[in-house]
Amino acid sequence: MSVKKEAVIKMQRYCAYQERCHSEVRNKLIALKVYGDDLEYVITELIKEDFLNEQRYAETYSGGKFRIKKWGKQKIKKNLKAKMVSEYCINKGLAVIDDDEYSKTLNTLIKKYRKERKNKDWTKLEMNKKCIQFCQNKGYEYFQIKEFL
């Protein structure tokens, strides 16, 4: 069996296990010592056979990180950019997140943060400052955090 065919089969398995972005597949192929035209051929085949779809990846990634890890849109966007996902796909991915659910999640995070730290000797100003910092680290927008404080 040729190197190309073998690489396509390996990458099909790799992509079938979970959604992958182009950069992850490219890095995996390089780790398997597949370069140049062979690498491009494998990626093209994966796209043709719908094993590799960047928009679907962005949608799955965004939804998962929001629901499971409670990440905000800014953190999700930053991580997708780091994976070299296109701006168009990032926007499609973030559109999967329902605005009402996003607001409810942020409100719940703020309440939970305050409840867990109510016994600390912090002034209201210190509590708000630390709460804002926590939510921003999670990737939520400042103006929305301020709305719930």
Structure confidence by residue, pLDDT tens digits, 66-111? 999 999 999 999 999 999 999 999 999 999 999 999 999 999 999 9
Tell me which architecture the domain covering 3-52 has in CATH.
Orthogonal Bundle (1.10)
- For the record, the structure tokens of 87 come out as 């701006």
According to the model, what pLDDT value does residue 55 have? 96
| Rounded CA separation 93/52 (Å) | 15
pLDDT band at 122 (very low <50, low <70, confident <90, very high): confident
Count of CA atoms in the C-beta half-sphere (13 A) of 31: 8
- For the record, the structure tokens of 18 come out as 């979970």
According to the model, what pLDDT value does residue 4 have? 83
The pTM score is 0.91
Count of CA atoms in the C-beta half-sphere (13 A) of 32: 20
